[in-house]
Amino acid sequence: MPKKHLFHFSVGNSTSGPIGMCCSISAATREAALNRLKRLMPGECEVSLTRIDCGRDAEEPGEYVRVYFNTRNIYTRDIDEIT
């Protein structure tokens, strides 16, 4: 069985744009990691504004945040680290 690595994807850029995302996928190759990410990633998800996973409570919670993903625009070149 081939050795698996942890592939870190960095997609978007919250420094120069409105949103960024990163995730780690365990796989044997870059291509396998990309295929697994595309298979597992939902088309969209909702983020709670009452308690975002950053260790603090929102003072004035909003209604909702919905994040949409287009996995057709995620590539192996988005892998920025392999461990």
CA angle (54, 55, 58) in 5-degree steps: 85
82 or 66, which is more confident: 82
**Residue with structure tokens 């192996």?**
76
For residue 6, the SS3 value is strand
Residues 53-81 have a mean pLDDT of 80
- Which residue blocks in the chain are alpha helix, DSSP H? 30-40
Among residues 28, 4, 22, the alpha carbon closest in space to that of 74 is found at: 22
Number of domains comprising the chain:
1
Domain range for 18: 5-82
pLDDT value of residue 66: 86
In terms of Cβ atoms closer than 10 Å to its own Cβ (0-12, 13-18, 19+), residue 37 is buried
Give tens-digit pLDDT for 29-54.
Answer: 999 999 999 999 989 988 776 655 55
For 57-68, how does the pLDDT look when each residue is reduced to its tens digit (9 = 90+)? 556 666 778 889
- pTM (two decimals): 0.78
